Amino acid sequence: MKTGRLEAFSDGVLAIIITIMVLEMKIPKGDNFSALKPLAPLFLSYVLSFFYLGIYWNNHHHLFQAANGVNGKILWANLNLLFWLSLFPLVTGWMGENNFDKKPVALYGVVLLLASIAYKILIQSILKIENKNAILHKAIKKDRKGNFSLFLYMVAIGISLYFPIVSLGIYFMVALIWLIPEKRIERIF
């Protein structure tokens, strides 16, 4: 099976997730800028989540441009990833509504961690059907960036129960690491 249908479905789901997140921000009462101040934490959490979803969308696109096909395991692995990404509106809203309190920041990190694990499962599922000489095998080799991200998420989740702002900084740092699309795949093309 070709990858086009899976990509189109995933694009649609990600678009809906982003739409749900922005609709969670309610229009403030009042016509001056001070009416926007209570929205600041929710807006900042939205920005972080928007970047994460954009990063996943971008890297997902590159991954499937390099993949030669799709099977049932890949479809389920992709749904697993989309499930964790679909929780972004919930954890984003909870974190923003509670001014980056400890437990919401920790749960946000758990969802980031599980989405990252799901992405690694997706990559491994694709690699299993690819020829060992295929582009992806050459590009992926060791997933240092992915493994480092998992480590940082675990550290940030632990820290969030004491210093949630530090955890947010780590989440932001991981986003910066992934902001540039997967260079390993781009170099092969």
Residue 35: the pLDDT is 87
Of these ranges, 12-16, 37-41, 69-73, the one predicted with the greatest mean pLDDT is 12-16
Tokens describing residue 103:
């437990």
Q: Is 85 exposed, middle or buried (0-12, 13-18, 19+ CB in 10 A)?
A: buried
Which amino acid, 69?
Answer: G
Classify the C-alpha dihedral 85-21-64-181 as positive or negative: negative
Convert the pLDDT of each residue in 83-113 to its tens digit.
999 999 999 999 999 999 999 999 999 999 9
Please check whether residue 141 is in contact with residue 185, taking contact to mean a CB–CB distance below 8 angstroms: no
Residue 6: the pLDDT is 94
Residue 173: the pLDDT is 96
pLDDT at residue 135 greater than cutoff 80: no
Classify the C-alpha dihedral 70-72-76-82 as positive or negative: positive
